[in-house]
Chains A and B, each alone.
Chain A
């Protein structure tokens, strides 16, 4: 019965169906979404090329310049931390991690969700019932706590993080894809394909997945910020990436410890994280509205 906003957004996207030229035009007319795409593009570009543009690297310590406030003079434009590491490079490198975790994990959960939901919906019957009941039970588990347990007990690795977060975020997708599959299954052309002897997998890949394209795009844009948030949450608690490697959440955690003395250590990574999340959410909203124009 309970529905997250994300789930609702996705259902809206389903109604709008395909990502047609019309939707693209409406998206182009949405100034906030276009601005977000531009800003996000800039952030991504900075994060990728930024570390190559400075002589500093993310781990080397400059003891002559500790707690350096942001300045152009010493080549530390974002300042330095308590051991003299350059915050600019660290923010960019941390951004790589945060974005990568977000994107990779969103795709992992997308794959699991689509495969699971489409299979359940396509097979139907008792197997479907069982598969969805499993999803219901998983929904009720306090996943955040389980993920923390996993990370604590099995050590902090990036791979484990992909796995843990991916395992949490596919549930919504599975539910919605299943519902859609049930509807699409009844369509005459799918029936026809089945009559013609197409295999189940072929039907799912050729007929069902393309119909879900609009939904998938919205889903991915809204899941990426959630995953980034989740990763930074873990890193903030000290359970994410390990020193000297860093991510936005880990940088913010460092910053909190020294915020009275060196507020830039807190403020700068916070701005990058918030702006990125804001852009993704704005784009996701814009896409949803573009697919379902009635709502705006």
Chain B
């Protein structure tokens, strides 16, 4: 298990390296420097700034410096936010993003797993069609459609919940619901499909032939087998959640890393954008590893 973990972590290095290089090339191949926006800047000031951020060095030196710093988990200073490092910004934004994403995933699991099982058990009946249609709705309604409609309804027309910000825990309710919608839909569909498959398997027939209670057949025999594809999905889901948080944070005006990313991209804040991309890559890789370990723990047939 430890050997497997180490192997996986080493395996992630090429991916990270390619990610880093690709985004570095992309950012530096782009026309315009981070300071070309502010046009009135005198040339000396600009040169000073570029020297401060080492932008006057040859590109390979910048690259080498960047790699070296990354190895120390130092993403450098932000270009846009004066006197703030990218690490600071990530440290500030990540808890917000994590809160929204974590609760959204939790909500999606709590709703999607039982509903998916229910749809499978009632296959081809009204309940199933209803669940499946709701799921398709969740997949077809992008978060940037759901979010404004929710704001319109719960914050503008009725004064139930705040429309944005992070001032109280209530501010998190709408973002979490919005983000959870799509994942609930996906989990429901995966769970439905896998439960249908498990229901057809021989061991479920055996469990029934043993005269066990319905609760035991579903809870002990079907659930652990049927949930495995959902567990696998959590890896890509984590990636999608981070992406989703970009829109959510934009709409609800929450200072998470998704929002920093978009702002950084629009303002050519090289270091911030690179740092967040890399941080994101790290999170996704780490999460995938955790998911695989959980999978192995749940499925006794998997050996490392």
Direct touch of chains A and B (CB < 8 A): yes
Q: Which of B241-288 contact A (CB under 8 A)?
A: 242-243, 246-247, 250-251, 261-262, 265-266, 268, 273, 276-277, 280-281, 284-285, 288
B22 contacts the other chain (Cβ, under 8 Å)?
yes
A149 touches B124 (CB 8 A): no
**Interface residues of A, count at CB 8 A:** 48
A259 touches B148 (CB 8 A): yes
**Chain A residues with CB under 8 A of B243:** 142, 144-145
**Chain B residues with CB under 8 A of A229:** 142
B124 touches A296 (CB 8 A): yes
| A149, A253, A266 pick with most chain B CB within 10 angstroms | A149
**Chain B residues with CB under 8 A of A285:** 136
**Chain A residues with CB under 8 A of B246:** 144, 148, 237
B18 contacts the other chain (Cβ, under 8 Å)?
yes
B121 to chain A, nearest CB (A): 15
Given contacts A146-B23, A149-B26, contact A232 B265 (CB under 8 A): no
A185 to chain B, nearest CB (A): 28
One of A113-121, A207-215, A271-279 at the interface:
A271-279
**Chain A residues with CB under 8 A of B30:** 152-154
A75 contacts the other chain (Cβ, under 8 Å)?
no
Given contacts A2-B291, A281-B140, contact A149 B265 (CB under 8 A): yes
Q: Which of B103-149 contact A (CB under 8 A)?
A: 123-124, 133, 136-137, 139-142, 144-145, 148-149
A252 touches B140 (CB 8 A): no
| B133, B139, B156, B280 pick with most chain A CB within 10 angstroms | B139
Given contacts A2-B236, A256-B251, contact A277 B140 (CB under 8 A): yes
Q: Which of A141-196 contact B (CB under 8 A)?
A: 141-142, 144-146, 148-150, 152-154
**Chain A residues with CB under 8 A of B142:** 229, 232-233, 236, 273-274, 277
| A252, A256, A259, A278 pick with most chain B CB within 10 angstroms | A256
**Chain A residues with CB under 8 A of B15:** 137, 140-141
Given contacts A2-B232, A140-B284, A142-B242, contact A266 B152 (CB under 8 A): yes
Q: How far is the CA of A252 from the CA of B146 in the complex (A)?
A: 11
A259 touches B27 (CB 8 A): no
A23 to chain B, nearest CB (A): 18
**Chain B residues with CB under 8 A of A237:** 246-247, 250, 262
B247 touches A3 (CB 8 A): no
A77 to chain B, nearest CB (A): 21
B144 touches A2 (CB 8 A): no
Q: Mark B22-39, 1 if CB is under 8 A from A, else 0.
A: 110011011100000000
Q: How far is the CA of A146 from the CA of B196 in the complex (A)?
A: 38
B303 to chain A, nearest CB (A): 14
**Chain B residues with CB under 8 A of A1:** 232, 235, 292, 295
**Chain A residues with CB under 8 A of B280:** 142, 145
Q: Which of A127-146 contact B (CB under 8 A)?
A: 137, 140-142, 144-146
Given contacts A5-B190, A146-B23, contact A232 B277 (CB under 8 A): no
A20 contacts the other chain (Cβ, under 8 Å)?
no
Question: A237: nearest residue on chain B (CB-CB)?
Answer: B262
Q: How far is the CA of A256 from the CA of B133 in the complex (A)?
A: 26
B229 contacts the other chain (Cβ, under 8 Å)?
yes
**Chain B residues with CB under 8 A of A146:** 22-23, 26, 277
| A141, A232, A253, A267 pick with most chain B CB within 10 angstroms | A141
Q: How far is the CA of A278 from the CA of B124 in the complex (A)?
A: 20
Question: A154: nearest residue on chain B (CB-CB)?
Answer: B30
A5 touches B281 (CB 8 A): no
A48 to chain B, nearest CB (A): 22
14 further contact pairs, Cβ within 8 A, besides A2-B232, A141-B15, A256-B144: A4-B233, A137-B15, A142-B281, A145-B277, A152-B30, A152-B265, A152-B268, A154-B31, A229-B142, A233-B144, A236-B144, A236-B247, A281-B139, A281-B140
Give 26 A-B contacts (CB < 8 Å), ordered by A residue.
A1-B295, A2-B232, A2-B235, A2-B236, A5-B193, A32-B133, A140-B12, A141-B15, A142-B19, A145-B277, A149-B26, A152-B268, A153-B31, A153-B268, A233-B142, A233-B144, A233-B247, A260-B156, A266-B152, A270-B149, A273-B145, A277-B139, A277-B142, A282-B136, A295-B193, A296-B124
* A residues neighboring B (CB under 8 Å): 1-5, 8, 32, 137, 140-142, 144-146, 148-150, 152-154, 225, 229, 232-233, 236-239, 249, 252-253, 255-256, 259-260, 263, 266-267, 270, 273-274, 277-278, 281-282, 285, 295-296
The 3 closest A-B pairs by CB, nearest first: A153-B30, A277-B140, A278-B140
